[in-house]
Amino acid sequence: MAQHIHTPGLVAVDDHAATSATFTVEPLHSGYGMTLGNSLRRVLLSSISGAAITSFKIEGVTHEFTTIKGVKEDVVDIMLNLKGIRFRVYGDEVQNLRIVKKGKGPVTAKDIEVNADVEVVNPEHIIATIDDDKANFTMDLVVEVGRGYRTIEEGTAKKASDMIALDAVFTPVLRVRYKVENTRVGQVTDLDKLLLTIETDGSLSPRDAFEESAAILVNQYTALAGTTRVTVPESTASNSGSPLAEELGSDESGALSTSIEDLNLSARTTNALINNDIHTIKDLFSLNDAELRDLKGFGSKALDEVKEKLAELEL
């Protein structure tokens, strides 16, 4: 097992859609793929900030166990529909919104009269259906920002007596799954690679959810670590933030730690590089053509061989 604990990097992001992406994190110390994947998943599903309707009032309705004249759905059905509306709220203030609809037809989330601090993510979501041309439908909504899940009992104390309370699912993350694969850095072959797939409701991007969950864990562990810090050798640290990594892009930067011995160069070229303390592709990129030619036992023919191999690897 390696003496040092490798520091991982986010080496690739595969965007499947606007609301779904897979994040590749490597290299991870042996066993850390499961540890990191499970902790990130738990935080993503329970602790990411979001917005939801926490109470509502329909004009002419005093409780949820009733029907509404001129409306197809009863109040219980409308309550279920309200839980499916997703909001993007800019700020932490409680938002009071209203719907006023007259005449026959569907009442959808786009009928909500929003303000500058609120955006409806799924405006086509159906709330109710008016089946009477003369019917009027007026509803007041209270939207709050929170984390995780909140029961009706936990929020009832804050509600006005004429409002009907809702249990609220604040989290914008719908699904998280992960898998762990093997990876290597040089001669260390027992490292982990984590692939984490995040699906959100559209109010928050998968990348923002990923970064927020990581930041939450950092804050938690930093509070416990006190003044203790673990020094990470430069050779095992992530290259994702280096200028060279930025120049190459995230996909290629993950290959910078590949060992020279894994390039399948000729024995003479491989030995010449290793004898000159060049052990990884990153070490190769630190020298220009003239400096490579000046290496002991390394000439123009070897340089051409290396260039062909890097071109083959699209580096």
- More reliable by pLDDT, 187 or 51: 51
pLDDT at 160: 57
Confidence of residue 218 (pLDDT cuts 50, 70, 90): very high
Residue 153's alpha-carbon distances to 52, 215, 257, in angstroms, are 16, 30, 54
- Residues 183 and 267: their CA atoms lie apart, in Å, by 24
pLDDT over 70 (residue 161) = no
pLDDT at 119: 94
Architecture of domain 9-48+173-231: 2-Layer Sandwich (3.30)
DSSP letter for each residue of 237-281? S--TTSHHHHHH-HHHHTTTT-BGGGG---HHHHHHHHHTT--BH
Residue 218's alpha-carbon distances to 9, 119, 224, 289, in angstroms, are 15, 30, 10, 42
Q: What is the mean pLDDT of residues 95-120?
A: 93
**Block residue for tokens 């995040």:** 198
- Residues 173 and 43: their CA atoms lie apart, in Å, by 10
* Number of helices and strands in the chain (H, E): 10, 15
* Structure token pair of residue 230: 């673990």
- Residues 243 and 22: their CA atoms lie apart, in Å, by 24
pLDDT at 202: 93
pLDDT at 1: 44
Rg, C-alpha atoms of the chain: 28
Q: What is the mean pLDDT of residues 242-247?
A: 45
Q: CA angle, 29 as apex, 28 and 35 as ends, to 5°?
A: 80
pLDDT at 289: 74
Domain 49-169 CATH class label: mainly beta
Residues with Cβ within 8 Å of 181's Cβ and at least 6 positions away in sequence, in order, are 33, 192, 193, 195
* 34 alpha-carbon distance from chain centroid: 17
pLDDT over 50 (residue 282) = yes
pLDDT at 314: 65
Residues 50, 172 contacting (CB under 8 angstroms) = yes
- Residues 106 and 100: their CA atoms lie apart, in Å, by 12
- More reliable by pLDDT, 287 or 75: 75
Q: What's the N-to-C CA distance of the chain in angstroms? A: 30
- More reliable by pLDDT, 307 or 198: 198
User: What are the sequence ranges of the domains in the chain?
Assistant: 9-48+173-231, 49-169, 258-312
Residues with Cβ within 8 Å of 193's Cβ and at least 6 positions away in sequence, in order, are 24, 25, 26, 27, 28, 33, 180, 181, 182, 183
- Residues 286 and 284: their CA atoms lie apart, in Å, by 5
pLDDT at 112: 95
- More reliable by pLDDT, 248 or 305: 305
Q: What is the mean pLDDT of residues 163-189?
A: 90
pLDDT at 209: 95
Task: Give residue 289's identity as a one-letter amino acid code.
Answer: D
- Please give the backbone phi and psi of residue 105, each rounded to the nearest 5 degrees, phi first: 140, 175
pLDDT over 60 (residue 158) = no
SS3 call for 299: coil
pLDDT over 90 (residue 109) = yes
> In the chain, pLDDT over 90 holds for what percent of residues?
50
Confidence of residue 251 (pLDDT cuts 50, 70, 90): very low
- For the beta carbon of residue 209, count every other beta carbon within 10 angstroms: 25
Paired residues of 112 in beta bridges = 99
pLDDT at 56: 94
Q: What is the mean pLDDT of residues 118-141?
A: 93
Q: What is the mean pLDDT of residues 23-50?
A: 94
DSSP type of residue 6: P
CATH number of 258-312: 1.10.150.20
pLDDT at 58: 92
- More reliable by pLDDT, 272 or 248: 272
- Residues 194 and 127: their CA atoms lie apart, in Å, by 40
DSSP type of residue 191: E
For the chain, what is the mean pLDDT? 84
Which tens digits make up the pLDDT trace of 58-96?
998 888 888 888 899 999 999 999 999 999 999 889 999
pLDDT at 315: 62
pLDDT at 271: 80
pLDDT at 107: 95
* Structure token pair of residue 306: 């290396």
Q: Residue 103: left if φ>0, alpha if ψ -120 to 50, beta else—which one?
A: left
pLDDT over 50 (residue 22) = yes
DSSP type of residue 297: T
- More reliable by pLDDT, 204 or 259: 204
pLDDT at 54: 94
Q: What is the mean pLDDT of residues 127-141?
A: 92
